[in-house]
Amino acid sequence: MISFSDSVTSKLPNTATSIFAVMSQLANEHGAVNLSQGFPDFDVSPVLIELVAKYMREGYNQYAPMPGLLPLREAIAEKTSELYGAEYDPDTEITVTAGATQAIYAAISAFIRDEDEVIIFEPAYDSYMPAVKLNGGVPITSRLKGPEFKIDWDEVRRLMCNRTKMIIINSPHNPTGSVLSSEDLLQLEKLVKNTNIIILSDEVYEHIVFDGKRHESVCRYPGLAERSLICCSFGKTFHATGWKTGYIVAPSALMKEVRKTHQFMVFCTNTPVQYAIAEFLKNGNGHGGLGLFFQAKRDFFLKEIEGSRFTFTPTAGTYFQLLNYEAISDETEMDFAGYLVKEHKIAGVPVSSFYNKGHNGNYIRFCFAKSEETLKTAAEILCKI
Ligand code: PMP
Ligand code: GLN
């Protein structure tokens, strides 16, 4: 007899469990230093924790409004205006989401129909491609080329056609740490002029940019802002990735559609955290110093691995550093990452897992959002390999 499970067909036949979950589990199994999955190992501000507890104790435990608490949306509008000089209406142009992951999915599912083409730059954060495919879209990839991992705008021009519905950009970029410049955004602005192309701009690492550079949000560029959905995450800003609280900002015509998908994905997100973040932001606790904080982490880590056989270009943003192992091994990235965990007790992420059809550039991604002690231990291991 054929069992029911034999009749189950996958909508994502080639998608396996996320590499972040796989590597973190492997790290735990082997007692390895875990620099794979991107999450900080420092504490959330005790003031913010206390605010969440306060709102829970005071009974703010029922559903929040569907687009998010108004005071939080107001605080986001203020922040976006102060930082980027862009004005968004909290009523109609800002929605609080369950992390940036849900913001991205809500945005893609609101606009992508069967056969719509979406340009994605590889290596790409893992959630973009499945979200496009689940909505019937067709991912069209353009590769960033190491060691700088810049966008080839001429190639983008060649890939664009009347089926192109969306272009997804991500700066600062996970996994490579590259940062888009003003010239990049001007190029994009020029390319999409007089088209109906929507830009999805993943800016979750907006506050983690190094060496005096500034974050180029798409909302600084009017020709982009009018067609852009910007996805952000408080997880990165407040060392609270487990709270899964993020948001999306976009002009009202776009946001109207995003809210239609958002309301049937989660309806709203967790209430006491929204109250707490709103108050925390109102009291002047923002992202202050986050870039310098992570720059010091990057510099510490790179100094500690100076004598190793790994080579690198210092990362320009995010809390990830790519290390190249060409001088050590000719194994694939997946095999080499497995070897590092099992034989050397250190976990990183093979960059090949950020490519749809595989790739080998001899890069492993390491997360340096860790205590100096952890980074020192990691560097000692890396120096011996
Ligand atoms: N985009 C990128 C580039 C990320 O690195 C992450 C998380 N690491 C996300 C989106 C998802 O953010 P969140 O955890 O808020 O869902
Ligand atoms: N974004 C984090 C990373 O790149 C992990 C997110 C996740 O585990 N899904 O490592």
List, as one string, the DSSP characters of 162-226: TTEEEEEEESSPTTT-----HHHHHHHHHHHTTS--EEEEE-TTTT-B-TT-----GGGSHHHHT
Q: Mean pLDDT, the chain, as a whole number?
A: 96
Average pLDDT over residues 156-184: 98
Host H or E run for residue 80: helix 70-84
Pocket test for ligand 1, best of 101, 144, 239 (most atoms within 8 A of CB): 101
The pLDDT, as a whole number, for residue 287 is 81
The pLDDT, as a whole number, for residue 211 is 97
Q: How many domains does the chain have?
A: 2
Mean pLDDT lowest among 104-108, 166-170, 288-292: 288-292
Q: What is the DSSP letter of 268?
A: S
The pLDDT, as a whole number, for residue 286 is 80
Torsional class of 59: left (φ above 0), alpha (ψ -120 to 50), beta (otherwise): left
Tokens representing residue 126 in the block: 């893992």
Q: Is there a single domain that holds both residue 26 and residue 118?
A: no
Pocket test for ligand 1, best of 233, 234, 265 (most atoms within 8 A of CB): 233
Q: Is there a single domain that holds both residue 323 and residue 239?
A: no
Is residue 192 situated within a structural domain? yes
Q: Tell me: the pLDDT tens digits for 339-382?
A: 999 999 999 999 999 998 888 899 999 999 999 999 999 999 99
Q: Tell me: the pLDDT tens digits for 290-327?
A: 999 999 999 999 999 999 999 999 999 999 999 999 99
The pLDDT, as a whole number, for residue 161 is 97
Average pLDDT over residues 241-266: 97
Is residue 52 situated within a structural domain? no
The pLDDT, as a whole number, for residue 241 is 95
Domain that holds residue 98: 61-282
Instruction: Answer yes or no: is the C-beta of 235 below 6 A from any ligand 1 atom.
Output: yes
Average pLDDT over residues 72-77: 98
Q: Which of 249, 282, 315 is the last residue of a domain?
A: 282
The pLDDT, as a whole number, for residue 357 is 85
**Which residue type occupies 170?**
N
Is residue 49 situated within a structural domain? no
* Residues 6+ away with beta carbon under 8 Å from 63: 267, 268, 271
Tokens representing residue 220 in the block: 């600084």
Nearest ligand to the CA atom of 99: 1
Mean pLDDT lowest among 8-22, 134-148, 240-254, 368-382: 8-22
CATH of the domain at 379: 3.90.1150.10
Give the separation between CA 139 and CA 382, rounded to whole angstroms: 36
Average pLDDT over residues 46-56: 97
Give the separation between CA 153 and CA 221, rounded to whole angstroms: 17
Identify whether the C-beta of residue 86 lies closer than 8 Å to the C-beta of residue 225.
yes
CATH of the domain at 78: 3.40.640.10
Q: Is there a single domain that holds both residue 165 and residue 258?
A: yes
Average pLDDT over residues 52-64: 98
Cβ atoms within 10 Å, residue 108? 28
Give the separation between CA 377 and CA 237, rounded to whole angstroms: 25
Average pLDDT over residues 250-277: 98
Q: Is there a single domain that holds both residue 316 and residue 343?
A: yes
The pLDDT, as a whole number, for residue 360 is 87
Q: Is there a single domain that holds both residue 95 and residue 163?
A: yes
Average pLDDT over residues 74-97: 97
Ligand 1 atom with minimal separation from the 244 CA: 15
Nearest CA to ligand 2 atom 7: 20
Q: Is there a single domain that holds both residue 66 and residue 135?
A: yes
Percent of the chain with pLDDT over 90: 92
Ligand 2 atom with minimal separation from the 18 CA: 9
pLDDT at 333 > cutoff 80: yes
